[in-house]
Amino acid sequence: MTDRVIAEIQVAPSPPGTADDPHAHVEAAIAVIQASGLRSEVGALGTTLEGDADTVWATLRAAHEAMLAAGASSGISHLKVASVNRTMDSLTRKFR
């Protein structure tokens, strides 16, 4: 078993943001991921991150909680987690 994981999170807050910033609650989750120090990549429908399992799991939880703390009245986080001895780059290099 590996301590390394690659994960993808898509947060779906309700509402997604405010009148002034329509994606504020999503952006709060992304900010937590970017501040984590983990390798991450923001995509159109989710954010992918990689690193040691404990840090990734803690960051996923913190991102979900940040979405709510930013003002979402409710929210769902869709997760994909792979325990692999690979990197994001090794899985996407062929297509870039």
Residue 2 has pLDDT above 80, yes or no: no
β-strands 47-52, 74-83 pairing: unpaired
Report H helices in 9-81. Answer: 24-35, 53-69
12: pLDDT strictly greater than 90: yes
For the cut 70, the answer to whether the pLDDT of residue 41 exceeds it is yes
Number of domains in the chain: 1
Given the structure tokens 């954010």, which residue do they identify?
47
- Per-residue confidence at 65, pLDDT binned at 50, 70, 90? very high
Q: What is the pLDDT of residue 69?
A: 98
**pTM of the complete model:** 0.93
Q: Which domain holds residue 25?
A: 4-95
Angle between helices 24-35 and 53-69 (to 10 degrees): 150
